[in-house]
């Protein structure tokens, strides 16, 4: 058993105490960005407002290291009208900001670190070397190790709930972190803006990258909750079905037979 596994306290409902919702803008060919991964704003002003409206419902907004490195995101609540909306909902004026960087490769010069309006939390793993951890600790309000090789999102969510009182976590991509959350079975809802653009490119990020699911029976299954067309964009909301999936293989059923 590794150091991380020994240190964590397993609980049966880890992670389920936090509502996790994704927001993404996607081209008609399913991409989040061009294959260069450079930041290109390709959505309407309405979609930008939608992103800020969704943030008014979140305790914390989370993104992966490459999204934070490659785009000028601050992950904050936006202007005064959005902050007032948060206060009306009983949330703090400024949301927490969470960045996932398993190997600690996050660029210290990323735009987010120049804006100190609310705590920044970095979730990492034991893959981050001591020098990287030191660098991250100088940048963030807290750096939490949540796994040995890959981030254990169940552990991370439980910790975010216990330490930072996060009940609603909005993940804003990119594809790798979204894919990991789907693999962990932790996504509750998806807000997707389908945009009238084709980027193409087999290496362009998609809504859910990483290993993926090998078959339809393993795939995340969705129900369309709502749809709205504004101009040539479609604003879609999906609920994600949760299945009780054993995470640790139990004994073969034949061994349980009397
Ligand atoms: N259209 C949209 O709505 C939208 C939204 C967001 C992003 N984007 C675009 O998407 C692209 C970035 O997406 P991306 O998929 O390349 O990267 P990403 O998901 O933003 O970040 C990937 C990084 O996050 C860390 N990470 C993610 N999952 C992890 C896990 N399970 N365990 C440990 N660490 C994990 C790793 O950091 P380490 O390398 O440090 O281990 C990994 O390299 C950019 O082009 C961005 O502009 C578009």
- Write out the chain's pLDDT in tens, 258 residues: 555 554 544 443 444 699 999 999 999 999 999 999 999 999 999 999 999 999 999 999 999 999 999 899 999 999 999 999 999 999 999 999 999 999 999 999 999 999 999 999 999 999 999 999 999 999 999 999 999 999 999 999 999 999 999 999 999 999 999 999 999 999 999 999 999 999 999 999 999 999 999 999 999 999 999 999 999 999 999 999 987 644 433 333 333 332
Ligand 1 geometric centre to CA of 173 (Å): 6
Looking at residue 105, which CATH number applies to its domain? 3.40.430.10
Residue 88 lies in a domain: yes
Residue 170 lies in a domain: yes
Residue 254 lies in a domain: no
Ligand 1 geometric centre to CA of 165 (Å): 24
Residue 121 lies in a domain: yes
Task: Note the pTM of the prediction, 2 decimals.
Answer: 0.91
What pLDDT is stored for residue 124 in this prediction?
A: 98
* Cα 191 → chain centroid: 12
Burial 45-56 (b: 16+ CB within 10 A, else e): eebeebbbebbb
Residue 87 lies in a domain: yes
Residue 176 Cβ inside 6 Å of ligand 1? The answer reads yes
What pLDDT is stored for residue 243 in this prediction?
A: 75
Nearest CA to ligand 1 atom 1: 32
Residue 224 lies in a domain: yes
Q: Which of 72, 140, 65, 143 is nearest to 99 (CA)?
A: 65
Residue 1 lies in a domain: no
CA angle 144, 145, 148 (to 5 degrees): 165
Domain residues for the domain of 68 are 15-242
Total domains in the chain come to 1
What pLDDT is stored for residue 4 in this prediction?
A: 57
What pLDDT is stored for residue 12 in this prediction?
A: 39
Ligand 1 geometric centre to CA of 252 (Å): 37
Residue 79 lies in a domain: yes
- Ligand 1 pocket test, pick from 174, 184, 199 with the greatest ligand atom count within 8 Å of Cβ, gives 174
Residue 47 Cβ inside 6 Å of ligand 1? The answer reads no
Nearest CA to ligand 1 atom 21: 64
Q: Where are the beta strands (DSSP E) in the chain?
A: 19-27, 60-64, 96-100, 120-124, 142-145, 168-171, 189-195, 222-230, 233-240
- Ligand 1 pocket test, pick from 108, 176, 212, 235 with the greatest ligand atom count within 8 Å of Cβ, gives 176
Give Cα separations from 35 to 12, 200, 212 (angstroms): 40, 8, 19
What pLDDT is stored for residue 22 in this prediction?
A: 98
Ligand 1 geometric centre to CA of 205 (Å): 9
């Amino acid at each position: 058993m590794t150091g991380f596994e020994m240190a964590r306290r397993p609980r049966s409902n880890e992670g389920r105490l936090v509502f996790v919702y994704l927001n993404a803008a996607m081209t008609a060919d399913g991409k989040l960005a061009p294959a260069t991964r450079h930041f290109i704003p390709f959505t309407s002003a309405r979609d930008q407002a939608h992103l800020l409206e969704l943030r008014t419902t979140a305790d914390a907004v989370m993104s992966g290291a490459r999204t934070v490195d490659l785009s000028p995101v601050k992950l904050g609540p936006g202007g005064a009208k959005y902050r007032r909306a948060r206060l009306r909902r009983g949330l703090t004026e400024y949301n927490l900001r969470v960045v996932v960087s398993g190997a600690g490769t996050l660029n210290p010069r990323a735009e987010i670190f120049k804006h100190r309006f609310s705590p920044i939390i970095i979730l990492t793993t034991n893959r981050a070397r001591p020098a990287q951890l030191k660098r991250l600790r100088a940048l963030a309000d807290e750096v939490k190790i949540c796994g040995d090789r890959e981030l254990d999102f169940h552990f991370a969510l439980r910790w975010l709930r216990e330490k930072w009182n996060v009940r609603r976590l909005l993940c804003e991509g990119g594809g790798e972190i979204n894919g990991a959350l789907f693999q962990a079975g932790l996504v509750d809802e998806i807000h997707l803006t389908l945009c009238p653009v084709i980027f193409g490119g087999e290496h362009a990020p998609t809504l859910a990258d990483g290993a993926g699911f090998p078959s339809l029976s393993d795939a995340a299954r969705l129900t369309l909750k709502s749809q709205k067309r504004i101009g040539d964009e479609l604003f879609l909301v999906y609920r994600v079905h949760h299945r009780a999936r054993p995470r640790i293989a139990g004994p073969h059923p034949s061994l349980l037979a009397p």
